[in-house]
């Protein structure tokens, strides 16, 4: 309890493109036959030249605008060297000192700010599968476009980290930058985790990287494990080693993968086969106009302009198809208000499959069958109170929850056709008086 977490995040995002980052191979690799989407370029064969994917770069710049980053008009690609079976040419085309986006921030609920260090573009590596005593390599993923977003070490709690990553996934989907499907590897998380004593200001002199975790839940579990492990090492008077660790979901613990490299170990130098990327300001400005409203803006509009409940808002924000359908119905309707449309769509999956005409006919029929006649409702309420005297007495004694029970009983007797608002007003207006 004398220690606190210091966390910086690296997020790898596979943008929505039709082809890979530097070649014309199809980017539709999920569930494809191993090594069926490859060519001399993404296999790193001698003499094959890379050609940057314009769409991938545009997706990255849009994300930069969403976070208020500075867009570099003069950028370049670099070679990042390391030797590993999933990287056939022995280096990765990435960005080092001149990334496309720098700076920016994300404001979480409550006003806490998470600073963005940079957003750069690189190519993905192949995929290794370990089967018994063999390692198999699938190069379909090799050369896929990969946006890497790096934050400052501003996370001090798992709650903030969880909120940030989930909001980031929503942003990627709402801006159509990426489907961000973690099961397909389209969104992968890496956390740089350190621990320091509470009250210290300086950053720790080490960090442990948790590599390629494809689940929000597993990331939080891995960090919890690291907090305990590193705290115990510090308490013993030692300093945790700077290393890269993975997560073993079966054992619920992290494990050593390799000692952590520094920038010097990668021997960066400018990619000689790709000239510097020079962007015109007018071109960058045109991309800014293509950036849709962020989820936080859409939430405010649904709440303040349309009066939807928090539950309804969350359903729509997490289901873009349903949100689009909701707005289409609003535009077509001149009589039914948005709140009624939202309530029906959220509470009835069957209504989501109906055409606009069928949907409005359903609402009209339901509205016409609602019981609003005061005298008729009073008779039903009288019967309910007689059958549930204790609940009515509890309500009169100040238990507001009891009225919901009584309303529920009225709804049961009317098969859901009573107007709940009218029922509540009748019961509250009794004040112990008779219904006669």
Q: Look up the pTM and report it.
A: 0.81
C-alpha span between 316 and 365 (Å, rounded)? 25
Contact status, residue 345 vs residue 351, Cβ threshold 8 Å: yes
Domains of the chain: 3-287 (no CATH), 293-368 (no CATH), 374-428 (1.10.10.410)
Helix (H) or strand (E) holding 212: strand 208-213
C-alpha span between 8 and 161 (Å, rounded)? 9
Question: Which of 68, 163, 175, 166 shows the shortest CA–CA distance to 112?
Answer: 163
CA distances from 20 to 15, 78, 143 (A): 10, 17, 6
Q: Find where tokens 């890979």 sit.
A: 20
All residues at 6 or more sequence positions from 379 whose CB lies less than 8 Å from its CB, including other chains: 435
Res 431: pLDDT: 55
270-309 burial, b at 16+ Cβ within 10 Å, e below that, comes to: ebeebeebebeeeebeebeeebeebbeebbeebeeebebe
C-alpha span between 385 and 432 (Å, rounded)? 11
Reading the chain (436 residues) residue by residue, the pLDDT tens digits are 689 999 999 999 999 999 999 999 999 999 899 999 999 999 999 999 999 999 999 999 999 999 999 999 999 999 999 888 888 899 999 999 999 999 999 988 778 899 999 999 999 999 999 888 999 999 999 999 999 999 999 998 999 999 999 999 999 999 999 999 999 999 999 999 999 999 898 999 999 999 878 789 999 999 999 999 999 999 999 999 999 999 998 999 999 988 766 666 789 999 999 999 999 999 999 999 999 999 999 999 999 999 999 999 999 999 999 999 999 999 887 667 898 899 889 988 888 989 898 888 888 777 666 676 788 888 888 899 999 998 888 888 878 778 888 888 887 887 767 777 788 888 887 755 555 5
Res 214: pLDDT: 79
Res 115: pLDDT: 96
C-alpha span between 414 and 192 (Å, rounded)? 59
Res 153: pLDDT: 95
């Amino acid at each position: 309890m004398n220690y606190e977490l210091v966390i910086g995040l690296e997020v790898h995002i596979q943008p929505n493109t039709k082809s890979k980052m530097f070649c014309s191979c199809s980017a539709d690799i999920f569930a494809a036959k191993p090594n069926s989407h490859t060519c001399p370029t993404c296999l790193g064969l001698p003499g094959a030249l890379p050609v940057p994917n314009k769409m991938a770069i545009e997706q990255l710049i849009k994300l930069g605008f969403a976070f208020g980053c500075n867009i570099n008009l003069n950028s370049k690609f670099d070679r990042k060297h390391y030797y590993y079976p999933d990287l056939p040419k022995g280096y990765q085309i990435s960005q080092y000192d001149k990334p496309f986006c720098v700076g920016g921030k994300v404001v979480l609920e409550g006003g806490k700010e998470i600073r963005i260090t940079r957003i750069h573009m690189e190519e993905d590596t192949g995929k290794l599968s370990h089967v018994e005593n063999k390692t198999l390599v699938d190069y379909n993923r090799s050369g896929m476009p990969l946006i890497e977003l790096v934050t400052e070490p501003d996370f001090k709690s798992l709650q903030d980290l969880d909120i940030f990553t989930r909001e980031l996934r929503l942003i990627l989907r709402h801006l159509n930058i990426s489907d961000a499907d973690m099961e397909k590897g389209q969104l992968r998380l890496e956390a740089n985790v350190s621990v320091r004593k509470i009250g210290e200001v300086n950053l720790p002199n080490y960090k442990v990287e948790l590599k390629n975790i494809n689940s929000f839940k597993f990331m939080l579990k891995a960090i919890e494990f690291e907090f305990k492990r590193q705290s115990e090492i510090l308490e013993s008077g030692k300093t945790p080693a700077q290393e890269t660790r993975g997560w073993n979901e079966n054992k619920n613990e992290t494990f050593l993968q390799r000692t952590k490299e520094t920038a010097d170990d990668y021997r960066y130098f400018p990619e000689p086969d790709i000239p510097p990327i020079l962007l015109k300001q007018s071109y960058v400005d045109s991309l800014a106009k293509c950036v849709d409203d962020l989820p936080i803006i859409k939430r405010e509009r649904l709440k303040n302009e349309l009066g939807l409940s928090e539950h309804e808002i969350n359903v729509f924000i997490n289901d873009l198809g349903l949100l689009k359908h909701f707005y289409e119905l609003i535009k077509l309707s001149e009589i039914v208000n948005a709140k009624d449309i939202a309530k029906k769509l959220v509470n009835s999956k069957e209504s989501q499959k109906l055409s606009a005409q069928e949907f409005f006919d359903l609402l009209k029929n339901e509205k016409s069958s609602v019981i609003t006649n005061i005298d008729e409702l009073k008779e039903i309420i009288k019967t309910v109170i007689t059958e549930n005297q204790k609940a009515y007495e509890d309500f009169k004694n100040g238990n507001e929850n009891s009225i919901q029970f009584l309303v529920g009983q009225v709804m049961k007797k009317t098969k859901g056709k009573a107007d709940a608002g009218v029922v509540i007003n009748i019961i509250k207006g009794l004040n112990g008086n008779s219904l006669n």
